[in-house]
A and B are shown apart, each in its own frame.
Chain A
Amino acid sequence: MKSENEIIDDFTAREYEFGFVTDIEMDVLPPGLNEEVIHFLSAKKEEPQWLLDWRLKSYEAFKRQKMPKWQNFEAPDVDFQDISYYAAPKDKPKYESLDEVDPELLETFEKLGIPLNEQKALAGVAVDAVFDSVSIGTTYKDELRKLGIIFCSMSEAVKEHPELVKKYLGTVVPPNDNIYASLNSAVFSDGSFVYIPEGVRCPMELSTYFRINSQNTGQFERTLIVAEKGSYVSYLEGCTAPRRDENQLHAAVVELIAMEDAEIKYSTVQNWFPGDNEGKGGIYNFVTKRGICKGNNSKISWTQVETGSSITWKYPSVILKGDNSSGEFYSVAVTKNHQIADTGTKMNHIGKNTKSRIISKGISAGKSQNSYRGLVQIGNRAQNARNFTQCDSLLIGNKCGAHTFPYIESKNKSAMLEHEATTSKIGEDQIFYLNQRGIDPEQAVALIVNGYAKEVLNQLPMEFAVEARKLLSLTLEGSVG
């Protein structure tokens, strides 16, 4: 029979499934970053002067920033001059309806399992698809509009709803927040914009799929979600990229704003190209995600399933400003081969009776390094604040590493914080038990891993939970048999 090592080798060596390239004529700006590029970008998108100024100011901030050193890996030496900051399908960058979209593009999204055709679309899910830098199409738009919900690409929002964009852009993640946020603020290409008016419960999942296709391009999308008083929205993003030998940069910024009694649920299934078995190529996924619970009784919940990227470096966070507001972070991060993940969250308790809950499940295999890094901060006015954190690490094989770096700070005596962490491995006895019941080793590992990650997967909207579960099994399973 196969030894445990063989099983592990098999499934940790599995190839990336979405590594194909779509052959489409692209408008690509030559590599390089300077003020002219920003002028070009802004002009191409016909942006108002204030946004151009904002971009230029961000670029100034970017030039002053230094690469941080506190992370648990050596920050790769990204040559910002070697990246193209604009790439878009050549013909018709704007579509009147989905019928006009290049069939090859539609096919790409079909291949990824994201049907843009509304008839075939997943029931109750509105999708915005972003291909390299440009939004390809948004489904269910009209239906949402009837409720007053705005769900469109960021470029469109800048044109159609400039007052909203201007009011909220950069208010949660300021342009000088960190080097990659500055870069994004200077050159962001597209992304999604969501606005839920007062008292409206968005009746369907909103979803964006990101696809990097071109070579030597970076993807810098910007997402902004505003939930007005008493509203609710659930949003999901997914991402893939072709296999390339070079590393590609993905530096997105996501800002969430929840007013009084509002709730935002943000889910990510991240499956960027992780590099090959030798660690060559793959996406640098350096993303700044932050939400603010601005109003009382508001709630923001992050759920992430991270299986791709050669380096994942992000901390979806919540600023709990409103009284009784709550923040949640549920994460599964799987690393294998030479992948690196340094991810976690920040919960910043400012208001009274604020609550946060962090569940992080790391799974490391191969030669990968998987770190949880989290900050829970209780300010001195955060009476009765509560936090519960659990972060577990699962090791598969002994060439990988699992690391836990929690920062727990309290300045309020009525606050209660609880943090627990464990490290364990998939027990041989567990695999054997399942084998004895007729389940093969590969499936046994998938079952155990899914069981281990269950608490997080359960947070995903149902349609995507199924997908994520499959993705987890696929990522770890390989071709045993």
Chain B
Amino acid sequence: MLKIKNLHASVEGNEILKGIDLDIKPGEIHAIMGPNGSGKSSLASVLAGKEEYEVTEGSIEFEGKDLLDMDPEIRAREGIFLAFQYPVEIPGVSNIGFLKTAINDIREHRQLPPLTAKEFLQRTKERQKLVDFNSKLVNRSLNEGFSGGEKKRNEIFQLAMLEPKLAILDETDSGLDIDALRIVADGVNKIQSENNAFLIITHYQRLLEYIVPDIVHVLAGGKIVKSGTKELALELEEKGYDWLKEDALNKTV
């Protein structure tokens, strides 16, 4: 589904990603862990097409198409969803209204007819229940006045509504208490299927107890320095990241 080859990217001339290789197949859950400033969120931003990031080398293929050629909304319509680390507030723009626009734009792109009002309403109700999202929040302005946890849960609700092929969760767990974390994870597990894939970016192992990854990658200094099974996450929790850095250093020397 997603093939990243030797990806280098920089912001204002500073290289942040220094050669990333990643291959994600349908049905898989990948987790990316790593210390602060290792480039985790940058990778998410590059995938979503954030303008400040300049890709200087390498390629990203999504379902056989060159992702780097696409505008952010085209990537979204192709099936990439980013659950933002810091969801923005947009006063006056209703959550539900904007989702309707988004869904129908995506459907149009996939040559599907727009949802009727009834179908849309039904999907809203259904998905709201699925991810346990407060119906009052659905009708409010986009993220305006939402608590941190409510914003994160709104991201998961949108994920459920838009049915992407690849969902990237950028530190969705940070700042969530354990109950909210469980709800978010439950939602993700319900949405997860053989046809979609998840890339979960996190600093903590905690989330991975609830969403079990197939593969765990460790990102440090803009590179994937180690990949392994979910046990790697536990090891990281115990030992921290320093041993890996040394390890990586030894390898490159």
Contacts and interface: CB of A to CB of B under 8 A. Distances in A.
Q: Do chains A and B touch in the complex (CB under 8 A)?
A: yes
A452 B92 contact: yes
A437 B102 contact: yes
A225 B77 CA distance: 52
Contact of A435 (B76, B92, B99, B106): B76
Query: Which among B77, B98, B105, B106 has the greatest number of chain A C-beta atoms within 10 A?
Result: B98
Interface in B65-81: 70-73, 75-77, 81
A167 interface: no
Contact of B90 (A430, A435, A436, A440): A430
Nearest to B106: A438
Contact of A440 (B50, B88, B105, B158): B105
Interface residues of A, number: 27
A436 B48 contact: yes
A453 B92 contact: yes
A24 to B, nearest CB: 41
A443 B71 CA distance: 14
Contacts, number: 88
Contacts of A441: 71, 73
Chain B, interface size category, equals 20 to 34
B91 interface: yes
Contacts of B125: none
A429 B90 CA distance: 10
B59 interface: no
B145 interface: no
Nearest to A2: B71
A451 interface: yes
A438 B105 contact: yes
B222 interface: no
A451 B91 CA distance: 6
B63 to A, nearest CB: 16
A466 interface: no
Contact of B98 (A429, A440, A447, A454): A447
Given A1-B51, A451-B92, A454-B92, A438 B102 contact: yes
Residue in A1, A2, A443, A452 with the greatest tally of chain B CB atoms within 10 Å: A1
Contacts of B48: 432, 436
B156 to A, nearest CB: 14
A427 interface: yes
B143 to A, nearest CB: 9
B101 interface: yes
Contacts of B94: 451
B175 interface: no
B82 to A, nearest CB: 5
B109 interface: yes
Per CB-CB distance, the 3 closest pairs between chain A and chain B, nearest first, are A451-B92, A451-B93, A435-B72
19 contacts: A1-B51, A1-B70, A433-B84, A433-B87, A434-B73, A434-B102, A435-B76, A436-B48, A436-B81, A437-B73, A437-B158, A438-B77, A438-B102, A438-B103, A439-B98, A440-B105, A441-B71, A451-B93, A452-B92
Interface of A: 1-4, 427-430, 432-441, 443, 447-448, 450-455
Interface of B: 48-51, 70-73, 75-77, 81-82, 84, 87-88, 90-94, 98-99, 101-103, 105-106, 109, 141-142, 158, 162
